[in-house]
Structure 1
Amino acid sequence: MNRAFNFNAGPAALPEAVLQKAAKECFNYNGTGMSVMELSHRSKDYEEIHFEAVSLLRKLLQIPDDYEVLLLQGGASLQFSMVPMNLLKRKKTGYYVLTGSWSEKALKEAKKIGQTSILASGKENNYKSIPDLSGIQVQNDAAYVHITSNETIHGTQWHKFPKHLSAPLVADMSSDILSKPINVQDFGLIYAGAQKNLGPSGLTVVIIKKELLSLSEDELPTMLNYRTHAENNSLYNTPPTLAIYLFKLVLEWVDSIGGIEKISKLNQEKAKILYDVIDNSDGFYIGHADPDSRSHMNVTFRLKSEETTAAFLTQAKENGFIGLNGHRSIGGCRASIYNAVPLEHVIKLADFMKSFKSQY
C-alpha cells in the first residue's frame, strides 16, 4: 500500500521506521508474549520504556538536572488550566502574549483561575506576525509570561524567544517542540501535546523547573498538581502506556538520524521549498504570515478566490495529498510539515502547486 502524503495538522505523520518497529513488536514486546498495550504499568518491561523515554528527551533537548520531565494526559488544553492553577497565586498576574487561536484559548482558561493581563498581541494585524516585545516591561506582579511558540492555525512561529524576563517564561510548544534547538534554561515551564512531533495523541509532556514545584499547593486536586506527578515519576496513576512507547520510538528515531540539529536543517529546507513556491507565484499563492514570522511547521496560504482554493484542494486530494485544508476558522490552505513529513513529500507538494498554477 502506498503511504499518503500526510500534511495533517495533528494528529500528524509518524516516522515510517517507528510504525514498522511498532508493528513488529505489536504482538510480542521484548519476549513478554504481550503487546505494550497489555503490559502492566508497574512491570519492569514498561518501566524501562517509561524511563528511557524521559532519558532520551533529556538528552535530545539537553534538559538540565534542575528540571522535571512529566508525562501527563489531557493535551495542551488541560495545561491551559494546570499552568495557572499551579503557578498563578493571589495578588499575582499571568501575562499572555497573543499570537493566534491557541494563545487566546490559553488566556481564556487562565482568566477562570486568577488575574491575567495581555502583555502583547498580534490580533490587530490578523495574527500575521509575532509581536515585538522589545521595550515592553513585565510588571512586578507577574507570576509568569505565557507564549505559544508556534501557532498552527495562522502559521506563525517565534524564531527568537524573549530572555531575561522578570518572571518565568511559560511556553506551549505543542507544534514545534523537538523541531529545532532551544535553550531549556530560558523557560520556567514548557508543555506540549505529543501529536505533532513527539508521537501520537494521548500524551502531554511538561518540562518544569523544579523550584516552581513549590508553588503547587496541597489544596489542588491531586491529578492537577504538578508535584503529584513529579514525586511519582509520572506513574501516580496509569499513564498512556502505548503513547509513551511510541514517544520513545520517535525519540530513538530523532537520535538515530542526527538529533535536533539535523532535524532543524531538514525542517528549514522543507519550509523554504514551499515558501519559495508561494513567493515566486506572482501572487497566485498568498501566504498568511509575514516573512519574518513564518512557521517552519505550518505553511498557511490561500489562493485568489474561494473557487480556485476549492479546486486546488480537490485536485490535491485526488493526487494523494491529505490535510491541506486550512483551519475552519480562517479557511484557505495549510501544509503541516512536522519532523516526520519526508522531504520527498514536500518536494512533491511543491511540484503539484507549480503544476496547478500552470493550469490557471
Structure 2
Amino acid sequence: MDCLYHCLYQSQETGDVIRCINQQILCYITACDREQHMLNAAEDAITTYLIPKVEEMLVNDSMEGGEHSMSRKLHQGQQGLFYNGNAYLVNYQFAKGVMCDSYRKAGIIPIECAQSVNYEGDRLLSMVQDLDSDMSGSDFVRKYKRNIPLKHRDYLMHGLGLSLQRVAENGFPVSELVDVFAFQRGVSFWVTADKKVMDNAMYVFIGCNRQALDMSKPKLEDGRLVVGGQEVRRYDIVYEFSLVDPKRSSEQMKLKASIDLVFEVLDNSRHVRNITVDFTPEESAKITGMMKRLYFPADMPVKPHKVPVTIGQEFLDNYYFEYGTPEQKKSVEDKWASTDAGFRRTLELSRQNKNK
C-alpha cells in the first residue's frame, strides 16, 4: 500500500480513487493494531468487495492503456491483493503480526490521523456503499481524500523559489506563460525546474510526508532522486500566482504549485506523479516578491520594479476577447477576421443574425 506505483495509470482519476482506498485501509489497520481488535463487517467488505473492485479497476485501466501487475495472496486464512510491485490490499486479519511489524519499521503505519476502529471501519463501509452506487471518481476522491498536513513545506518552497529564480533571471520564454486569469487576478507559469535543486528539495519533502502523499521512501543515488525504484527524470511545474483579495489589495499574493514528477517519457505521453501544494500568503511572500521584481505582465494590477515584458500577443488577444472592453474585443475580432476565413465567416453570420 506504500508506493509510487511501478506502473502507469491511464486514468489519473482511477489512481486517485485507489490511493483513497489504500489510505483508508491503512487508517483502519492502524486503529485495529492500536486497539487490538477489528470490525468484522469491515474485514468481510475488504475481502469480498474491495479486492475484486480494485482488481476490476486495474484491469479496466490496463485495457485503456495503463500498465499494471496483480496477484492474489493467501495468508492466515485471508485473501489479499498484491499489485503493482509493492502494494497490498488486505484486511487486519491478513496484516496483523509480521506484516504490521514490517509496516511500522518502514514508517507506513501508524497513520497519524487515524481514529477509532469503529470510526475507520464505518468510513470504509461507507466507501463500499458509494463505490457500489457508482459514485463518480471525482466525487469519491473529494469525499474521502484525507488532507493530512504537509510537513517541511519550507524545504519545498526553497527549492521552488531557487528553481524559478534561475529561470527568471535568464528571462521567461513567452511559451512559459500559461494563462492570465480573468479580471487580472493572477498569472501562471510553466517551468521545467532545475533538477539538482528539486531532487534535493523533494528528497526531504517526500521523506517527511510519505503517508500524506502515499509514496515510497525516497533515495538519493549519485545525487539523483529515486522513488519506488524509479528515477525522477525531470520536474514540470506550474507556478500559479493569484491575488488573495483582488478587490481590496493588489499586493498580497499566494502561490499554488502543481509539480509533475516525470518518471518516463513515452510517445506523446508521460509517466508522472503529480503533487499539488497550496501555500499561504505568508509562505508565498518571498517567492511572490521575487516575481514582482523580476517578471510580471504589465496587465497585472501589481506594478513591477523593472520594465515589464510583453506576455505574448496570442495570450493578450485571447484575454481581451474573453474579458476585455467592447473596444478591445472588437479589435481582436477584426484582427482574427482578417487572417482566419473560418472565423470571418462565423462573425459575418453572427452579425447577420443580429440584424434580422
Give TM-score scaled by structure 2 length: 0.24
Give TM-score scaled by structure 1 length: 0.24
Question: Hey, which of these two has a bigger chunk of helix by percent?
Answer: 2
Q: Which has the higher contact order (CA 8 A, sep 6+)?
A: 1
Q: Which has the larger radius of gyration?
A: 2
